[in-house]
Amino acid sequence: MSGMHGGGGGGRNRVSGGDAAAQKAANATAPKIPDLLKRIAQLFSPHRRALTTTIILVLISAGISVLPPLITKELFDRGLFPAGGPDIPVLAELVTAIVVLLVVSAALGVWQTWLTANVGNKVMGALRIRLFGHLQAMELAFFTRTKTGVIQSRLQNDVGGVAGVLSNTISSVIGNTVTVIAAFVSMLVLSWQLTVVAVILLPVLVIAQRKVGQVRARIATKTQESLSDMTAITQEALSVSGILLAKSFNQQQAETARYEAENQNQISLQVRQQMSGQWFFAMVNIFLSIIPAVIYIVAAYLITGGVDVTAGTIVAFTTVQARLMFPLLGLLRVALDLQTSSALFARIFEYLDLVPAITDRPDAHAVRPEQLGRIEFDDVVFRYPDAPLDSPATLKGVSFTIEPGQFAAFVGPSGAGKTTVSYLIPRLHDVTDGRVLFAGDDVRGLEADSLVRNIGIVSQETYLFHATIGDNLRYAKPEATAEDLVTAAKAANIHDTIVSFPDGYDTVVGERGYRLSGGEKQRIAIARVLLKDPAVLILDEATSALDSISERVVQEALDTASRGRTTIAVAHRLSTVVDADVIFVVVAGKVVEHGTHAELLAGDGMYSALYAQQVQ
């Protein structure tokens, strides 16, 4: 039986399907564009003023963009080829007008680019923060079944992948739409016959764009899945623990081969994604290139048929036609990008739509001080959420009471459910049935902040940030003074060691604290908990990975830390809990014995057998 699905330290998960949400997103069809646009628009709502300014600039720029072709017609008909020969004053006036319009348009374009880049990056940053904060609110079980690299990929690759859409969509859609409408109207004014020729094949392009977009969306989904796998492999293999494991088993080449295989898959997908629209855009470019030639031929027939078409009209029309086609191509590209990005947005929104399994109730209240330190399990049954329905529960009808100030120990075989008991107290998991009471109240009715504020945890696998010792200590109490750090470090038997380092409390501990010994890391973790000064202290096999000398030093620090507070120790080495006020023996998810060390030895039961084994 495995009672430790969510316990610390489980090995590296090599199964790519561990992220249920990612699989759901990958298997789902891309969201409809209108729904997607609605959710994207909600992201821009805090930036209405900047967006309004951008829209005004886009409208002005779009209006200006169609004026030069119309002026060009006048330039040809009135300036270059009037009845009496070239009119230099008129020509100079019209050329000046075109230059001024181009300069103004360029200046507005720079301003517009700054606004869109500013808004787009702020929206992307807010989306990343929103996603990060939402993930912080997820329950522990979510992280035990999801690869860290997959989560990192959502924050980095997926959000970064939609940056261009966030930055350019609004200005591109508005600007190109206005330009297309204005250009179309101008073409109709110049010649409705030539306009029919210019736009007759546009419906074919729109249909082709939709087909290409669907293909690119499917490829984009597979590409992001591959990026997630690559990030997960990198996080696993290049972490300190991963490097140590690979070197210990001489698996460096195997890790490289694993990364190379996924890298080749990523290369293939990137090539497919880039090539998937190339034939479409090649067809569009061919269409745009041959239209002017067709217009010249049609114009010749019109002139022959007696239709009044001047040289200026033909030049202006082909210029306006280009002004129509390129913005139209821009709209097709935006639609294609939205279809492609729908896969990325689907993955981002998939995580944002996850509902945390553990949240505060509407009527949740703070921990009451009257019974602070009292813990009670009332017929608790617990089954891990991802466990098969036909598997036995991890905890089966567990009941006990720990009074304020007591030192309670939980011992028993590996996988019996000891650590699970400790996880239920700070509500890292919720019980399946029964109740966990903290200071007399069901933990499900308490505010999470208030509950956790009164609980300190020292686990077997101490986690230290790649920062200074002082920074790691202040994680528990950011406002702690230097004197506070020294007091806590002395109580944890680590101060003398810290000051022996050349940089003292400014010593950088390295990734996960690997520059320190196991005993030093544990004592820093104890000092960190002492800074927090919780009413309840949970020790999850805090000394099991240490040698006997380090264990003795750390145990002295733990004895100091446990004074004056309720202490719960999950222990493998029974020698560390012989002085406990009460010892609970857990076997197969049940408390089978409890009492003091002497009482349990005299009872000649499971505890006595375990103790005899360890002594022997």
Cross-strand partners of 439: none
Distance CA 184, CA 324 (A): 7
Under a CB-based contact definition with an 8 Å cutoff, are residues 420 and 4 in contact? yes
- DSSP letters of 493-534? T-HHHHHHSTTGGG-B--GGGTTS-HHHHHHHHHHHHHHH--
Distance CA 225, CA 26 (A): 8
Distance CA 406, CA 291 (A): 88
pLDDT-derived band at 24, boundaries 50, 70, 90: very low
Distance CA 196, CA 291 (A): 11
pLDDT-derived band at 30, boundaries 50, 70, 90: very low
Closest-CA residue to 148 (of 232, 87, 92, 64): 232
**CA-CA distances (angstroms) from residue 243 to 248, 462, 467, 511?**
8, 18, 20, 12
Model pLDDT, residue 492: 84
Model pLDDT, residue 431: 93
Under a CB-based contact definition with an 8 Å cutoff, are residues 398 and 558 in contact? no
pLDDT tens digits, 158-183: 787 777 666 666 667 766 777 777 77
pLDDT tens digits, 250-272: 778 888 888 888 888 888 888 88
Cross-strand partners of 586: 591
The better pLDDT of the pair 223, 241 is held by: 223
Residue 19 has pLDDT above 60, yes or no: no
Model pLDDT, residue 6: 39
pLDDT-derived band at 68, boundaries 50, 70, 90: confident
Model pLDDT, residue 398: 93
Under a CB-based contact definition with an 8 Å cutoff, are residues 402 and 408 in contact? yes
User: What integer is the mean pLDDT of 14-43?
Assistant: 54
The correct answer on CATH 1.20.1560.10 for the domain covering 37-352 is: yes
In 6-87, alpha helices (H)? 20-27, 33-43, 48-65, 67-74
Q: What is the CATH number of domain 375-454+534-615?
A: 3.40.50.300
Give the start-end residues of each E strand in 439-581: 441-442, 455-459, 536-540, 566-570
Angle, in degrees to the nearest 10, between helices 88-136 and 67-74? 170
| Domain range annotation of the chain | 37-352, 375-454+534-615, 464-521
The three-class DSSP label of residue 78 is: helix
pLDDT-derived band at 300, boundaries 50, 70, 90: confident
Residue 22 has pLDDT above 50, yes or no: no
Model pLDDT, residue 365: 93
464-468 LR contacts (CB < 8 Å, sep 24+): 464/509, 464/512, 464/513, 464/516, 464/521, 464/524, 464/525, 465/509, 466/508, 466/509, 466/510, 466/511, 466/512, 467/508, 467/509, 468/503, 468/505, 468/506, 468/507, 468/508, 468/509
User: 383 is written with which tokens?
Assistant: 């089954």
User: 60 is written with which tokens?
Assistant: 């002005």
pLDDT tens digits, 499-520: 999 999 999 888 777 788 888 8
Closest-CA residue to 521 (of 548, 550, 500): 550
**CA-CA distances (angstroms) from residue 280 to 204, 211, 384?**
11, 10, 51
Distance CA 18, CA 10 (A): 14
Strands 536-540 and 455-459: parallel
pLDDT tens digits, 97-138: 888 988 998 888 888 878 887 888 888 888 888 888 888 888
The better pLDDT of the pair 86, 427 is held by: 427
Model pLDDT, residue 485: 92
Ranked by mean pLDDT, the top range of 35-49, 72-86, 92-106, 162-176 is: 92-106
H or E element at residue 404: none
Model pLDDT, residue 239: 67
Q: Which amino acid is at 495?
A: H
pLDDT-derived band at 544, boundaries 50, 70, 90: low
User: What integer is the mean pLDDT of 479-496?
Assistant: 89
The three-class DSSP label of residue 10 is: coil
Model pLDDT, residue 48: 85
Model pLDDT, residue 267: 85
User: 108 is written with which tokens?
Assistant: 């507005």
Under a CB-based contact definition with an 8 Å cutoff, are residues 391 and 582 in contact? no
Distance CA 295, CA 385 (A): 68
User: What integer is the mean pLDDT of 593-613?
Assistant: 88
500-503 LR contacts (CB < 8 Å, sep 24+): 501/469, 503/468
Q: Locate tokens 């030895």: which residue?
A: 601
**Over the chain, what is the mean pLDDT?**
79
Q: Among residues of the chain, what percentage have pLDDT more than 90?
A: 16
Model pLDDT, residue 77: 75
Residue 613 has pLDDT above 50, yes or no: yes
pLDDT-derived band at 410, boundaries 50, 70, 90: very high
First to last CA, the chain: 26
User: What integer is the mean pLDDT of 179-204?
Assistant: 74
Residue 11 has pLDDT above 50, yes or no: no
Q: Among residues of the chain, what percentage have pLDDT more than 70?
A: 84
Strands 590-595 and 582-587: antiparallel
Residue 23 has pLDDT above 80, yes or no: no
Ranked by mean pLDDT, the top range of 14-18, 140-144, 308-312, 441-445 is: 441-445
Is 375-454+534-615 the same fold as 37-352? no
Strands 407-411 and 582-587: parallel
Buried b (16+ CB within 10 A) or exposed e, 523-552: bbbbbbbbbbbbbbbbbbbbbebbeeebbe
Model pLDDT, residue 425: 94
User: What integer is the mean pLDDT of 287-308?
Assistant: 76
pLDDT-derived band at 26, boundaries 50, 70, 90: very low
Model pLDDT, residue 616: 66
User: What integer is the mean pLDDT of 232-257?
Assistant: 73
- 426 phi/psi in degrees, rounded to 5: -85, 10
Of the listed ranges 38-52, 284-298, 370-384, the least confidently predicted one is: 284-298
Under a CB-based contact definition with an 8 Å cutoff, are residues 537 and 570 in contact? no
Distance CA 138, CA 354 (A): 8
Residue 537 has pLDDT above 80, yes or no: yes
